[in-house]
């Protein structure tokens, strides 16, 4: 398994992996999630991220999955923070528990450190216990909790 930075030629594979994440995760945990968004808007959105030096798009080759990360804009309320945001990650079901997710996160953390990030964040659905356990095993801890009422 090889993890590499996406190029423009990788756009279809990145969009396909993101679409699968929307269907698997968002479609299961959020009844309002527009699971068709990646097919409709994904090519333009992810092409922009691939071209943006403040974003990182990774693919785990051989259909293993993807990771998208970004440096966030400065926050005047927390001026000492340089935050990298892990926007999305997916590992194909048949490749889980093989170290693919860990390799993607390790590459993202190295990229974030190289850019001076002193805080890294990720958002996960509260009901996605496997994802929460995965993030916990990679050093992520709760910081803010968002409560919603529908």
Is residue 146 situated within a structural domain?
Answer: no
Supply the pLDDT for residue 61. Answer: 87
Q: Which domain holds residue 88?
A: 3-137
113: CATH: 3.40.630.30
Mean pLDDT, the chain, whole residue set: 94
Supply the pLDDT for residue 123. Answer: 95
Query: Which of 17, 3, 12, 23 lies closest to 89, judged by CA?
Result: 17
pLDDT tens figures, 40-71:
999 999 999 999 999 999 999 887 899 999 99
> Does 87 or 28 have the greater pLDDT score?
87
Is residue 69 situated within a structural domain?
Answer: yes
pTM of the model: 0.93
Is residue 144 situated within a structural domain?
Answer: no
> Burial, 141: exposed, middle or buried (Cβ in 10 Å; 0-12, 13-18, 19+)?
exposed
Supply the pLDDT for residue 148. Answer: 86
Number of domains comprising the chain: 1
pLDDT at 1 over 80: no
Is residue 145 situated within a structural domain?
Answer: no
CA distances from 110 to 25, 40, 57, 83, 106 (A): 26, 32, 13, 13, 6
Supply the pLDDT for residue 49. Answer: 98
Query: Which of 103, 73, 81 lies closest to 4, judged by CA?
Result: 103
Supply the pLDDT for residue 26. Answer: 85
Q: What is the DSSP string of 37-96?
A: HHHHHHHHHHHHHHH-TTEEEEEETTTTEEEEEEEPPP-TTSTT--EEEEEEEEE-GGGT
Query: Which of 117, 9, 134 lies closest to 72, judged by CA?
Result: 117
CA separation for the pair 72, 79 (Å, rounded): 12
Phi, psi of 118, rounded to the nearest 5 degrees: -115, 5
Is residue 31 situated within a structural domain?
Answer: yes
Is residue 39 situated within a structural domain?
Answer: yes
Confidence of residue 84 (pLDDT cuts 50, 70, 90): very high
Average pLDDT over residues 29-40: 94
Confidence of residue 110 (pLDDT cuts 50, 70, 90): very high
Is residue 131 situated within a structural domain?
Answer: yes
The rounded percent of the chain whose pLDDT value lies above 90 is 85
The DSSP secondary-structure symbol of 34 reads: -
pLDDT tens figures, 119-129:
999 999 999 99
Is residue 36 situated within a structural domain?
Answer: yes
CA separation for the pair 128, 125 (Å, rounded): 5
């Amino acid at each position: 398994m090889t993890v590499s930075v996406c190029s423009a030629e990788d756009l279809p594979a990145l969009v396909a992996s993101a679409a699968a994440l929307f269907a698997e995760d968002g479609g299961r945990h959020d009844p309002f999630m527009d699971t068709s968004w990646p097919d409709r808007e994904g090519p333009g959105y992810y092409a922009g991220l691939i071209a943006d030096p403040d974003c990182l798009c990774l693919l785990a080759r051989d259909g293993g999955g993807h990771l998208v990360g970004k440096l966030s804009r400065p926050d005047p309320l927390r001026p000492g923070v340089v935050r990298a945001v892990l926007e999305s990650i997916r590992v194909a079901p048949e490749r889980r528990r093989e170290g693919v997710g860990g390799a993607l996160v390790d590459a993202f953390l190295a990229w974030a450190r190289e850019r001076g990030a002193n805080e890294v964040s990720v958002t996960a659905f509260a009901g996605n216990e496997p994802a929460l356990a995965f993030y916990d095993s990679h050093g992520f801890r709760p910081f803010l909790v968002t409560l919603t009422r529908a």
